[in-house]
Structure 1
Amino acid sequence: MMKSEVALLYVLIIMSKGSAQSMKPRRSVFFSDVNLKLFKEPDFDGLSSVLVREDIGQLFIGARGKIITLSLDDITKKTKEINWIVTSKEKALCQMKGKSIEVCDNYITLMHTLKDGRILVCGTKAFDPTCTHLMFEEGNVTMEDSFVNGRGKVPFDPNENFASLVNGNTLYTAGSINFLGTVKSFKRHGRNSLMTEPIWSWLNGPNMISMNFAEISKHSYNKEDDSVFLFLTEIEYQSQRSDLRLSRVARVCKSDMGGLRILQRKWTSFLKAHLDCPFGDEGSTSLVQDVFFLQDEKNVSDSIFYATFNLNTKISNACSQSAVCAYKLSDIQQVLRGRFMTSTDSGHWVKHPGAMLNPYPSSCINDEMRAKGVRTSRNVPDSVLMFVKTHTLMEQIVTPITGKPLLLQAMAQFSRIVVDKVTSLDGQQHNVMFISNNSGWVQKAVWSGDDGLRIIEELQLFQDPQPIRFLQLSSRSGQLYSTTRTAVVQLSVRDCSHYTSCADCLIARDPYCGWDRRTGLCAAAAGASNLSMIQNLIDGDVGICPSSHLSKQIIDIHLTLDVAQFLPCSPDTNLPISWSFSGSILEPSPRHTLLSQGLILTPSFTDEGLYTCDTVEVVKGREHRKAVIWYRVKIGRRGGRYFSPHLHPYTLIIVSFGALGVIHIYKHLTQKSPNHVQSDHCGNDPGANRTTASRG
């Protein structure tokens, strides 16, 4: 082999091993191998809302001009279609106001279940938001023939982000409230409606993300009022530039009634804080994309907010990165009980230097306040409410429970997240995350304080790369529903068919799966007993597996002396591989080039023998090796028998084109999965070399 070709091989080794790797999923399952159900119709597009109704077994889909209901058990079965379109006159009027024909339609952007079982439905109605109700009676879905003004409930523009929730029959929304979309507010609707003050210190160019309700009173020792949390991004106050944004978490109290004289019909409990998820280059900021609230039934303060973040690449030269951070409710509460920032006339935030007022500004009513005569927000003194009006931002920053992201990936754009609480056979609970991205993939990950985070697998839910807009989970049936703008996919989260052996089933440590002794298959553990099923989520010990005797299928190959040829090794997981020669671990050398998907061998006569490719997985300090393929190599001189029919086709390329063939192999191996797992060319440690962004 020429010296230049040898040098090139070493460059490839450095390139393939020198870059820091983001956390990889253990297994990648491509679209053709995913067991899923798909709903898609030719005239179905503009999907803009999703609602799961487990009580009636229906999935409600809001789209452009229609509402469709699908069976929760099988979404390919459409149970109802209700058309809700705009008239030609309404569409023409919308276009006269300068809007495109595409947005001058009725996009169903809000669906919530009310206390009486009806569904509140709102559509953009050609930039004239309108609401009505759906009813489910005797197995049939119908729409009421009465309609009400929906302005302030949903934005006029169907492409605008907004957040909403219903508690009982009370609707909370956060989004624009005018035709131009320039005025945005966090509102409570109904008999005692409240909203934010329309000033920059309350909301400054906000992008509303998610809203969650926390039953604080359920476990509070002093009967503190329940809270509504809003997650958003907004313009950084110090610069007033629209591309400099920060992530925030805001909170209001459920029983807030507004002020008596000051802050009438306005929140008296509105507070917000900087939400930090530290990753990326110095000076970069992370922008929250979605939030899932997993409420702890035993102690609400231990509840966790799981959030996806993308890096704001507009303000730095950093490459595209995404992360998942988790926040404890009690940590957010502690920040909201801390010291305040003061808004100035010049549009800046400074630390509040004065003493704290009594009662504590923006507090949710509790027993201590009631004992002092402050039974509602209308009993709060005017001096405190005046303070509230200019002190909405907290000095302290909300940081994740681990101090850094649970998960960090480069060259990815995370979108939605849902979390399932799964009980294993030993009675322990495990939080399983499903994280979608903008390329049609979903990752399944497990996080625990002792074991860190593991990405069990990633699944390609849509054949063409496209953003996933919604993720909804039915924990009762174990079904995940994922949508783009034009299609809906149903996936069983308890599908264990990709684990083909007992060892693979146990080492994966998937809380949903266990090895069924009776059937000899990896199957769903839900409802099974320890007598019939094996599961070990602690260290994946395969010693408890039944003994198996798999025969080796050794491939005999004939290689040519001093001619580089490629021995492929393609495991069904993303685990690293290790090569051994005649029972000894093979190390890199001028004749042995180790790549992530195979071995380039430039043989001498001493290289005849048995080559084994194993996957290597370390679980709790214990190494697990699984043989993928065996090669029995024999060496011949030039002019003899050169090739084996079992060799990878790229072997011929190497022999024929030398260095160019090696480059071709390297490109093939590093570009195997362009839509999901990528090398972290940013080379960043989560939180390393990064200062916390400005509190403003």
Structure 2
Amino acid sequence: MSSELMDSFCLLRLTVTLLPLLNPCLTRLTPRVSFPMGSPGRRLTCFSSHDLSNTTTLLLSADGEKLYVGARDAVLLLDVGHKDTVLLRSKLDWSPSEKDLEECSMKGKKMADCPNFIRVLQFFNSTHMYVCGTFAFSPRCAYINSETLTMSLNTDEGRGRCPYDPYQRNTAIIVGEELYTGTVADYRGNRPVISRHLSEGSRVDLKLDDTLGWLEDPTFISSKFIPHEEKIYFFFSEVGREYNFVDKFIVSRVSQICMSDVGGQRTLQRRWTTFAKAQLLCQDGSELPYNVIQDIDLLPPAEGTSVDDILFYGIFTSQWAVNSGRSAVCSFTLTEIKSIFSGNYKVLNRDTLQWSARVQEKVANPGECGLHNASDNALRFVKENFLAEDSVRPAGRRLTLVSREHIYSHLTVQRVQAANKKLYTVLFLLTESGHLHKAVLLRQGPYIIEEVQVFKPPQPIRSLMLSIPKVQTEAYSVYFQIFFSSNFG
């Protein structure tokens, strides 16, 4: 987590034009046109500061005018509502004391890894945010006024809410003033957990049961709230213990919990009763799968369609040498995910830690909401049966896109109306070298319209956010703002 060189934070204002003459039968994985950095119509507005580093956490206001940035030892409020400039409105310094840094170093940690790296940055309500940082390997959380960036006098212990190590990936989302997180809950990073915090009244904080098997060395990627389901979906990769014939075979997962969950009365007290997980299989036929999820975004259903017509678009890479240097995009439907979670489940033998097909009578439906009132027998059943037997396969049973030339690290997705009045899905894909690809999904396959260089020299981009504060349909175009942060260290 070096900070010898400052970070740059950039805003790219981009007009997406779906060409009226674009043949819907075309497919192209080489960009049709490439724009070097600074090209007319593809100009970037950047903000940087000599004392700004590790800007890996972004949060955009609902009106798209204000951007909050979580950095090393600081939270920034930027005004991004102007056409040609990004203005610093306020900055909150939040760093460990010299004593905290000394204790971190005495634990054997590098001093460069001991500052407070902001890893959770979420709106709590209309006036405050809830923010957590690694804080010298002793994570802390606080309420921060979203207008003034003033911090509450008292801070919360961040265990289970924020990682200790700045290198560990995590995910967090606040719904109904409750915090749902996927992270690690110990100093050594050996206790992964999906948990709920800040519960009040009859609600209780929940976490996974401490017994083995729930999570296997996961790398958390994202979490999504589905309002009509009243569920939170978590996306991560982990070791697939069900594939015991391969050593450390990585699988991508989707898991779910119900927001109404309050734990069991005797069995699974203060533990999730609705946790279930399934494999996300980004695979084409009998070829080796792209098994390691890197990023995921949600595409809401088109107007007038079913609320279940949600699509999740994810970037996947492979642990296999034959697919080295490649990446793939797969999409998954909420309908398919719900179907898999409604099906059969494997059972875990706690003595051998081996998974097998369930043969005993089904006494409960794992993942079903409302199980907190179930019998102890039913809760013991869901405690042993939380891995879905079938895998979630991609929409159309095929990969959306495969790149043999680029490794993509981040994506965001949007639906756009073109000149022919038809709706098209547009993907914004970031390469590991710091280029942005804009791809439209056509009937015959993906077509990469353009490539934009967003940093010079090329370098990795740490976070990506798409905003559409003002939609324009002039000349069949849509105006986007795309936010990047890059850690130069």
CA contact (8 A) 2:341 2:367 kept: no
Name the CA shift for 1:22/1:355 in 2 (closer, same or farther; >3 Å). Answer: farther
CA contact (8 A) 1:22 1:408 kept: no
Q: Which residue of 1 aligns with 2:20?
A: none
- Which aligned pairs between 1:154-169 and structure 2 lie closer than 5 A? 154-169=162-177
Q: What amino acid is aligned across from residue 201 of structure 1 in structure 2?
A: G
Measured against aligned partners, the alpha-carbon deviations of 1:33-66 in whole angstroms (never above 9, x if no partner) come to 2311112222221122111113372111111111
Contact 2:438–2:449 under 8 Å retained in 1 = yes
- Structure with the larger strand share: 2
Once residues 401 and 285 of structure 1 are traced to their aligned partners in structure 2, the CA distance between those partners, rounded to angstroms, is 15
Equivalent position to 2:91, from 56, 81, 91: 81
Distance 1:354 1:280 in 2: 32
User: Which blocks of at least 5 consecutive residues in structure 1 are unaligned?
Assistant: 1-20, 218-225, 365-375, 488-696
Kept in 1, the 8 Å contact 2:282–2:289? The answer is no
Any idea what SS the aligned residue of 1:293 has?
Answer: strand
Say whether 1:397 aligns with 2:391: yes
1:53 is aligned to 2:61:
yes
Partner of 2:232: 228
Q: 2:45 & 2:76 partners in 1: Cα distance?
A: 16
Question: Which residue of structure 1 aligns with residue 133 of structure 2?
Answer: 123
Alignment of 1:534-553 (within 5 A): none
In structure 1, the partner of 2:30 is 24
Counting only pairs closer than 5 Å after superposition, residues 274-673 of structure 1 correspond to structure 2 as 274-278=279-283, 282-283=287-288, 285-296=290-301, 298-313=305-320, 316-344=321-349, 345-357=351-363, 359-364=364-369, 376-424=370-418, 427-448=421-442, 450-477=443-470, 478-486=480-488
Number of the residue aligned with 1:585: none
Verify the 8 A CA contact 2:256 2:367 in the aligned structure 1: no
CA distance in 1, matches of 2:283, 2:292: 11
1:99 aligned onto 2:109: yes
Please tell me whether the aligned partners of residues 165 and 171 of structure 1 are also in contact (alpha carbons under 8 angstroms): yes
Q: Distance in 2 between matches of 1:182 and 1:385?
A: 26
Shift of 1:29: 1.4
The count of residues paired between Structure 1 and Structure 2 equals 442
For the residue of structure 2 that corresponds to 1:405, the secondary structure is coil
Change (3 A) 1:56 1:244: closer
Deviation of the 1:201 alpha carbon:
2.2
Q: Deviations over 1:191-223 (max 9, x none)?
A: 311111233321111111111111234xxxxxx
* TM-score, normalised by the number of residues in structure 1: 0.61
Runs of 4+ in 1 over 3 A off after TM superposition: 238-243, 279-285, 423-429
Q: Which residue of 2 aligns with 1:566?
A: none
Distance 1:142 1:451 in 2: 53
Deviations 1:100-121, CA, capped at 9 Å, x for gaps? 0011101111110123331111
Indicate whether 1:208 and 2:220 are aligned. yes
1:486 offset after TM fit, Å? 4.5
RMSD over aligned Cα atoms? 2.2
The aligned counterpart of 2:187 is 179
Contact 1:201-1:392 at 8 Å conserved across structures: no
Residue among 197, 200, 207 paired with 1:189:
197
Q: Which amino acid aligns with 1:356?
A: K
Assess if the C-alpha contact under 8 Å between 1:327 and 1:401 holds in 2: yes
**Once structures 1 and 2 are overlaid, which stretch shifts more, 459-468 or 428-437?**
428-437
Instruction: Pick closer, same or farther for the CA change 1:157–1:213 going to 2, 3 Å.
Output: same
Q: Which amino acid aligns with 1:387?
A: F
SS of 1:142's equivalent? Answer: coil
Asked if the contact 2:68–2:76 (Cα under 8 Å) also holds between the matched residues in 1, the reply is yes
Q: Judging changes above 3 Å, is the alpha-carbon distance between structure 1 residues 77 and 116 closer, same or farther for their aligned structure 2 residues? A: closer
Distance of 1:68 and 1:108 partners within structure 2: 11
Whole-Å separation in 1 of the counterparts to 2:64 and 2:425: 26
Match of 1:72 in 2: 80
Q: What is the SS of the residue equivalent to 2:112?
A: coil
Greater relative contact order (Cα < 8 A, sep 6+): 2
SS in 2 for 1:105: coil
Which residue identity does 1:293 align to in structure 2? L
SS at match of 1:387: helix
Amino acid at match of 1:340: Y
Q: CA deviation at 1:416?
A: 1.2
Q: Hey, what does 2:10 align to over in structure 1?
A: none
Secondary structure of 2:388's aligned partner: coil
How many Å apart are 1:387 and its aligned residue? Answer: 0.9
> Which residue matches 1:548?
none
Q: Secondary structure at the match of 1:81?
A: strand
The letter for the 1-side match of 2:311 is: I
Q: CA deviation at 1:142?
A: 2.8
Amino acid at match of 2:393: T
Between 1:191-200 and 1:255-264, the stretch displaced more is: 191-200
Paired amino acid for 2:118: I
Partner SS, residue 381 of structure 2: helix
Q: Residues 239 and 64 of structure 1: is their aligned pair in 2 closer, same or farther, counting only changes over 3 Å?
A: same
- Taking a change above 3 Å as real, the CA distance of residues 451 and 215 of structure 1, as seen in their structure-2 partners, is farther
Between structures 1 and 2, the one with greater helix share: 1
SS in 1 for 2:337: helix
Instruction: Report if the CA contact (8 A) 1:44-1:486 is conserved.
Output: no
Q: 2 CA distance for matches of 1:259 and 1:169?
A: 22
Question: What corresponds to 1:671 in structure 2?
Answer: none
